[in-house]
Amino acid sequence: MSFPDGFLWGAGTSAYQIEGHHGRGESVWDEFCRRPGAVEGGGDASRACDSFLRWREDVELIRELGLGAYRFSTGWSRVMPEGTRADPRALDHYERFVDALLDAGVEPVLTLNHWDMPAGMSWAERSTAHAFASYAGAVAERLADRVTWWITQNEPWIIALLGYQLGLHAPGVADLGTAVKAGHHVLLGHGAAADVLHAHAGVMAGAALSLFPCDPATGSEADWAAAAGSDGYVNRWYLDPLLGDGYPADTREHWERALGHDLAFVLDGDEAAIGGRSDFLGINYYTRRVMAAAPADPFPWRVVGPSGDVARTDEGWEINPGALRDLLIGLSRRFPGTPLMITENGGVFGDAPTHDGRVHDTRRIAYLRDHVAAVGEAVDAGADVRGYLHWSLMDNFEWALGYRPRFGLVHVDYATGVRTIKDSGHYYARLIAGGGTAPALPRIEAFG
């Protein structure tokens, strides 16, 4: 494997998951966390990793790990506490943070919306796309001269699915029609923000999609149709309009059947306002979906999962690096000329510090090795991949799952805020130093 010169090796976090409150405005997630039973364990992000105060310590961790890039988000509810006017103190903070990253030789990858929109706003409203563009403009005025890589929206499908269809994320709405409308407005927000960003020279703007390869459970025609329908629902409904093809006809017909009416909220000119504005595609990959036909309404498919005994994370997700390789190759062939960046890839492994004070997360090490190898195989096959950003730099607040799942290369003691680089973090540092060449899986005692 040979990764191209300038390939970005890094990791990511988001503002709401690590910063703590510290003067942030009220967000939809603050409201959601106060609902009884909304968050596993009853936690909230009022403190999280305390990174708003400990940001210098985080930059030193990034430097120690040898990361060449760091994905972070500017908190929308921090920058615009009331949703309309920017707080210069918040922008001052992010300006200091970006300068510190650059001083450490680290490329900033900035996300504008990682779900913490100001309270009172909703993606169900078309006006939110315009408010988002105003927020993007405020951040860009301060940072576009120093930040090249900008992610407008993080995981539009998850926003629509969990926030507006199932009600499992903020704002906690459970209505299918509202979910489809909200997803459209998220994409409109991408287009509007990308237009604002492109007024600044040298900016690369894109969205980060949660992409799940959809495979049929069997070779039957019905299961193949189920996999194609799921792919439209999860992936193509967002990929196609972002990269210029407009909404896919088969999925649009599915929504019109399921809702019993046409998509009147998709106005003339909307698809043109979304497409053609992505300088790259961010890919958040965790696992695949294995699909079977089902007589369900409104979805004639169901996730059945892989057959047999497969490797899984502690969250039960199948570990399948080969699906990542095939996804990258397929995207590069379908959308030639669109650079790709892995903006999230990781797994939940609950290893804690042992008697020696270290975290021996050998399963995450194997996960890293195998997924980086898959990216390398895709690059060798011609995929234009510009970077790999592991999720996440540190353990953090995992939304409705609270503080139980641990994704980090760095362990966080939430009671004290103490950070401990896990064995996987040390391994990743060696991998980066080797230009992506994965060292042999080490003995536990090899790190120190």
Task: Give the rounded percent of residues in the chain with a pLDDT score beyond 90.
Answer: 95
> Does 199 map to a domain?
yes
> Does 2 map to a domain?
no
pLDDT for 439 equals: 75
Query: How many domains does the chain fold into?
Result: 1
C-alpha radius of gyration, the chain, whole number: 21
pLDDT in tens, 145-179: 999 999 999 999 999 999 999 999 999 999 999 99
pLDDT in tens, 188-232: 999 999 999 999 999 999 999 999 999 999 999 999 999 999 999
> Does 363 map to a domain?
yes
Q: Is the full-model pTM beyond 0.85?
A: yes
pLDDT for 346 equals: 98
> What CATH number corresponds to the domain at position 431?
3.20.20.80
DSSP 163-190: IIIS-SSTT----HHHHHHHHHHHHHHH
Q: Around Cβ 26, how many Cβ atoms within 10 Å?
A: 15
pLDDT for 246 equals: 97
pLDDT for 318 equals: 98
Average pLDDT, the chain: 96
Q: Is 155 a catalytic residue?
A: yes
pLDDT for 251 equals: 98
> Does 182 map to a domain?
yes
**Which is catalytic among the residues 107, 271, 344, 398?**
344
Domain housing 431: 8-446
445: confidence class by pLDDT, cuts 50, 70, 90: very low
Q: How far apart are CA 305 and CA 289, in angstroms?
A: 6
Diameter over CA atoms, the chain: 63
> Does 3 map to a domain?
no
pLDDT for 435 equals: 92
Counting other chains too, the contacts that 329-335 makes at CB distance below 8 Å and 24 or more residues apart are 329/378, 329/381, 329/382, 329/383, 331/239, 331/281, 331/283, 331/383, 332/378, 332/382, 332/383, 332/384, 335/239, 335/243, 335/281
> Does 179 map to a domain?
yes
297: confidence class by pLDDT, cuts 50, 70, 90: confident
Residue with tokens 């399948």: 320
pLDDT at 447 over 50: no
Contact in structure between 209 and 327 (CB atoms under 8 Å): no
pLDDT for 296 equals: 78
**Which is catalytic among the residues 155, 271, 377, 398?**
155
pLDDT for 1 equals: 64
pLDDT in tens, 422-439: 999 999 999 999 999 877
> Where is 209: in which H helix or E strand?
strand 204-210
pLDDT for 440 equals: 75
pLDDT in tens, 49-107: 999 999 999 999 999 999 999 999 999 999 999 999 999 999 999 999 999 999 999 99
> Does 38 map to a domain?
yes
pLDDT at 443 over 80: no
> Does 348 map to a domain?
yes
pLDDT at 354 over 60: yes
Which has the closest alpha carbon to 57: 426, 444, 418? 418
pLDDT for 448 equals: 37
Q: Is 318 a catalytic residue?
A: no
